[in-house]
Amino acid sequence: MSSSIVRNLFAFIITFSVSMIGTGTAKAQEWKQYRDANAAGWSAEKLEAARKFAAESGSAAVFIVDRGNVVAAWGAVDHPYKAASMRKSVYDAVIGASQKDKRFDPSKTVGELGIDDLQPLTDAEKKATVEHLMTATSGIYHPAAYETRSNAERRPERGSHAAGEFWYYNNWDFNLVTEAFERMNGSTIDSAFEKYLAGRLGLEDYRSEHVFRWLEPRDSKYPAVTFRLSARDLARIGQMYLDQGKWNGKQIVPAAWVKESTRPHTVFGKDHYRGEGNGYGRLWWIWPAREDSGSKYLSYHRIAAQGAGGQVMVLFPEIDLLIVHLADTDAGNGLDDRDGFKLMEMILEARTGGAKGREKLGPVRIEPLSGKKPAPLKTGLKPVPPALQRKIEGRFMVNETIGIEFYRFEERLFARPVGMPLPDAEMLLDRDGTLTSPLADVVFEPLPASDGSIGEVKMTFGGRTSVGKR
């Protein structure tokens, strides 16, 4: 079997452990769009050039909001794409929105909350506060679910830094933010999102099954709680932050919370790989204005939620502007940094002065980016029944070195790659009896023998099929 097939086979590992927490749609609150871009302080001609560049570069959705109303909506702005690491800024919004009902105390320590992990925490690590977790300065360097290989390679040695003295983009910290919230608030971060944000902001495309828990049980007790969100729903969160926590005149997140989360708690020094002078707040990126850069985009102070593959929402507080960009990472499409920067530059170049607030408004006009529609989301997936778990448990090899091992953990079925340094992923049962994940183009079909045992598994991925044998 070719190496490309093997790579495609294991693409399923980049999946999510799913928490099926019911369904439900918030009452939609529709956006309004400026009827005439030119009259709203934007060059329609330059916006069209930016739209064409976005289409050529592989963008899936772009949503531009100026002074609370839409300038442009391109592509599948209503499709809930993977938010990736934008989830961290969503956590901050949820926690802030819950403050009126239940107190979340960032000064609480990990030890006070009774948090530990598979590798027990030291007394020094237990002194890290929740604030340290939110600012990625805990000094706790453990393996974590949803951690990229590059981040794992940058992970410092345990005990090398005390809490608060060193910034490291640490998925262990981010995953534990949700655990700390749940221990203090008494509800999960996803149910709180539904209660405090989805309804209050009138999200149009959110469904509770769009929340997923990625657990890697051999590395950590704690999952990464991930979200799928559409561009137009993400923009509601962004506009709320631009309006100091308000939406439709109502205070959703305290203004003091927004201010504290979006100020730089860490500023990166010379030669830092994240860029000298850039910074990190509480689960938000902070990029300072660089007025001498010669760039329209860089000339503004920016606050951002950012994830892999081109997923980004950039806020421009001084001009009340936000831009959401999403790529179809489900289909393996992303936007590289150079194209992403160029697109942002083109959009800012199209701004001739910005909206004044008196322009005529109408319904949102969605313009295409490509003829392709995003693949329908997998729905109706269920946990694998215990009987099937027991039958399929074990190793199935494609060749002498490459294969899949299915194993059980807390009455759930996981798949571990054999022969490749990739993370484990939970398998779920589809309606047709196959095993799959909600976000990857892969299907595992157990092939029962005459006695009912399973000695082979058909693996279909990227349109190709191979068989793993016990």
Q: Smallest Cα–Cα separation from 374: which of 84, 58, 26, 71? A: 58
22 lies in some domain:
no
Question: Both 236 and 355 in a single domain?
Answer: yes
41: its two tokens: 């302080």
Backbone angles phi, psi at 14, to 5 degrees: -80, 70
Question: Both 206 and 282 in a single domain?
Answer: yes
Question: Both 205 and 286 in a single domain?
Answer: yes
DSSP H or E run through 337: helix 337-349
73 lies in some domain:
yes
**Reduced to 3 states, what is the DSSP secondary structure of residue 317?**
helix
The last residue of a domain, from among 367, 396, 418: 367
26 lies in some domain:
no
Length of the chain: 470
Per-residue pLDDT of the chain (470 residues; tens, 9 = 90+): 444 444 444 333 333 333 333 333 435 568 999 999 999 999 999 999 999 999 999 999 999 999 999 999 999 999 999 999 999 999 999 999 999 887 899 999 999 999 999 999 999 999 999 999 999 999 999 999 999 888 889 999 999 999 999 999 999 999 999 999 999 999 999 999 999 999 999 999 999 989 989 999 999 999 999 999 999 999 999 999 999 999 999 999 999 999 999 999 999 999 999 999 999 999 999 999 999 999 999 999 999 999 999 999 999 999 999 999 999 998 889 999 999 999 999 999 999 999 998 999 999 999 999 878 898 888 889 999 999 999 999 999 999 998 899 999 999 999 998 887 778 889 999 999 999 887 667 789 999 999 999 999 998 876 778 899 99
Question: Both 276 and 416 in a single domain?
Answer: no
113 lies in some domain:
no
137 lies in some domain:
yes
332 lies in some domain:
yes
List the CATH number of the domain containing 287: 3.40.710.10
Phi/psi-derived region of residue 275, left when phi > 0, alpha when psi is between -120 and 50, beta in every other case? left
CB 200 within 8 A of CB 249: no
The last residue of a domain, from among 367, 395, 430: 367
Residue 426's DSSP bridge partners are 414
The last residue of a domain, from among 367, 401, 420: 367
Number of domains the chain contains = 3
- pLDDT in the model for residue 15: 34
**CA–CA separation, 30 vs 40, rounded Å?**
19
Residue 294's contacts (CB-CB under 8 Å, 6 or more residues apart) are none
The H helix count followed by the E strand count for the chain is 12, 26
**CA–CA separation, 364 vs 77, rounded Å?**
11
- pLDDT in the model for residue 370: 85
- pLDDT in the model for residue 103: 81
- pLDDT in the model for residue 29: 63
Question: Both 156 and 261 in a single domain?
Answer: no
**CA–CA separation, 259 vs 256, rounded Å?**
5
Amino acid identity of 149? R
433 lies in some domain:
yes
C-alpha distance from residue 141 to each of 160, 175, 368, 417 (Å): 9, 13, 44, 24
Question: Both 388 and 460 in a single domain?
Answer: yes
DSSP H or E run through 4: helix 3-9
- pLDDT in the model for residue 7: 41
- pLDDT in the model for residue 28: 56
100: its two tokens: 């009126």
**Reduced to 3 states, what is the DSSP secondary structure of residue 126?**
helix
Question: Both 7 and 57 in a single domain?
Answer: no
403 lies in some domain:
yes
Q: Smallest Cα–Cα separation from 93: which of 185, 198, 183? A: 198
**CA–CA separation, 268 vs 135, rounded Å?**
13
- pLDDT in the model for residue 366: 97
Question: Both 54 and 202 in a single domain?
Answer: yes
Question: Both 176 and 194 in a single domain?
Answer: no
Question: Both 137 and 244 in a single domain?
Answer: no
pTM of the model: 0.91
CB 202 within 8 A of CB 26: yes
Question: Both 353 and 444 in a single domain?
Answer: no
Domain region containing 166: 125-183
Question: Both 335 and 238 in a single domain?
Answer: yes
